[in-house]
Amino acid sequence: MAAMKKALLATVVAAFAIFIGHRFLKLKEVTLASREVPLKHLNCHYLDNIEYGAEDITVLKDGLAFLSTGLKYPGMPSFSDEPGKLYVMDLLHPTPTPVELQITGDLDLSSFNPHGISVYTDETDDSVYLFTVNHPQHKSQVEIFRFVEDDTLVHLKTIAHPLLHSVNDIVAVGAESFYATNDHFFTSDVLSYLTIMLGLAWCDVVYYSPEEVRVAADGFLSSNGINISPDKRYIYVSDIIDHEIDVFERQEGEQLVYLKSVAVGSLCDNIEVDHRSGDIWLGCHPNGMKLSKFDPEDPPGSEVIRIKNINSQQPVVSQVYADNGHVIMASSVAASYEKKLLIGTVFHKALLCYLK
Ligand SMILES: [Ca+2]
Ligand SMILES: [Ca+2]
Ligand SMILES: [Ca+2]
């Protein structure tokens, strides 16, 4: 009997060890832990005033770019104690320079921690609304601002809701409505890590309007960047640790219908869509393990990926820029405007590059 118990115990221990080993291999696989990217550089220079990350950037049709800077996010490095800030920059200016936006109204600026951003332009009166994910005290809420004059944002409202619990990015679809991604299922770090280890696709996209708040799509390992096609018909979501972009059709009554996933081979963070061509631009993390470990001697790299013809039968996925972290670390967004390309990062600098 004792021998049988011992044999059984040994089997259980061995099975557990295999399971843990298998999960660690899985973790190495999802983080692309052994990936090194060969350099692929462009003619670029650093943006003035951006030293502590520009996690998200969005560009309007008229060449005005908005930047969300100074993010403090659990598990990510951050090298400034200052609160986050929002900047604006005119890409049509001969020497584009980010200018800090002055925020007026009822918002606590000392705990401002901006993350994903999106702009909604009301075509009827040309008013511009800037939506910003904000994490004061590591909470998740969405701030809506109105952009007035050259450098002022008027804070209109703060939106908080239990379904908006771990918001990463948003895409505005009206003056007060948006889709938002939750990048975690649990707010606890340990449980979140477990869901990744076990490969549980429990993250979702939430639709918010003053009348209705609901889960609009789910089944993501970790839903990160989100954006919309120029004709407003398609919604794109980056499932970052699944290494793919999921495409949804937006149907009547704000219903999202899943169409397909496009593999990108990298951990792509935010999504920007070129207004003219509809091309998808992605700021990606080539190696997620280097990002979470953060060793300045072996820094996390950067990668920009473009998808052409995403709604066709044959989308074309190509790498436009790659660096090993010695020029730019942890790219999280890439935004193109005519022949210019902006690259923003989670905690490092930002680049303005020129496309051939
Ligand atoms: Ca965004
Ligand atoms: Ca997926
Ligand atoms: Ca993001």
Total structural domains in the chain?
1
For residue 328, what is the domain's CATH number?
2.120.10.30
Q: Which residues are catalytic?
A: 115
> Which residues have C-beta under 5 Å from ligand 1, the single-atom ion?
56, 116, 169
Distance, in Å, from the CA atom of 275 to the CA atom of 107, rounded to the nearest integer, reads 31
**pLDDT for 91-111, tens place per residue?**
999 999 999 999 999 999 999
Q: Is residue 72 part of a domain?
A: yes
Read off the pLDDT of each residue in 310-324 and give the average, rounded to a whole number. Answer: 97
Q: How far is the CA of 321 from the centre of ligand 1 (A)?
A: 20
- Starting from the CA of residue 180, give the closest ligand: 1
- Starting from the CA of residue 205, give the closest ligand: 2
User: Tell me, what amino acid is at 230?
Assistant: P
Domain containing 264 equals 31-354
| Predicted pLDDT of residue 100 | 98
DSSP code string of 191-245 = HHHHHHHTT---EEEEEE-SS-EEEEEEEESSEEEEEE-TTS-EEEEEEGGGTEE
Q: Is residue 2 part of a domain?
A: no
Read off the pLDDT of each residue in 184-198 and give the average, rounded to a whole number. Answer: 84
Q: Tell me the pLDDT band of 132, cut-offs 50, 70 and 90.
A: very high
Residue with the two structure tokens 């990350």: 53
Q: How far is the CA of 1 from the centre of ligand 3 (A)?
A: 56
Q: Is residue 12 part of a domain?
A: no
Q: Is residue 6 part of a domain?
A: no
The 8-class DSSP code of residue 41 comes to -
Q: Is residue 74 part of a domain?
A: yes
Is 49 marked as binding a ligand? no
Q: Is residue 98 part of a domain?
A: yes
**pLDDT for 238-251, tens place per residue?**
999 999 999 999 99
Q: Is residue 152 part of a domain?
A: yes
Q: Is residue 138 part of a domain?
A: yes
What pTM, to 2 d.p., does this model score? Answer: 0.95
Distance, in Å, from the CA atom of 216 to the CA atom of 213, rounded to the nearest integer, reads 9
